[in-house]
Amino acid sequence: MTYIVSDNCIKCKYTDCVEVCPVDCFYEGENMLVIHPDECIDCGVCEPECPAEAISADTEAGVEKWLEINTKYASIWPNITQQAQPMPDAEKFDGEKGKFEKYFSEKPGEGD
């Protein structure tokens, strides 16, 4: 089992999860984070820290697409290990449906 980040992170990019991760397995895109599934130790400390509830176990139903996205982009986006400010208007986008189709960006973030 591993944890994955799903579409509710898009346009929010809270980094509370990054701060508590003991193995630094988060990677930063322009408008979301992903978890590297081969680096995640399945401790689960990140899940309750996410204000957008965008982190879940890969054993939950319907997350196969997100496991693929996390795997792909964790290998090309920069590592992020320190908490940063969320995206502008994060609260406005939190919970919006269809964010992947509307806003997902393949561009990398800055990392740290």
Question: Which tokens go with 61?
Answer: 């139903």
pLDDT higher than 90, residue 1: no
Please list the alpha-helical segments (H only) found in the chain.
Answer: 16-20, 64-74, 90-93, 99-103
Could you tell me the pLDDT band of residue 72, with boundaries at 50, 70 and 90? very high
Whole-structure pTM value: 0.94
Instruction: Please tell me the distance from the alpha carbon of residue 85 to that of residue 69, in angstroms, as a whole number.
Output: 23
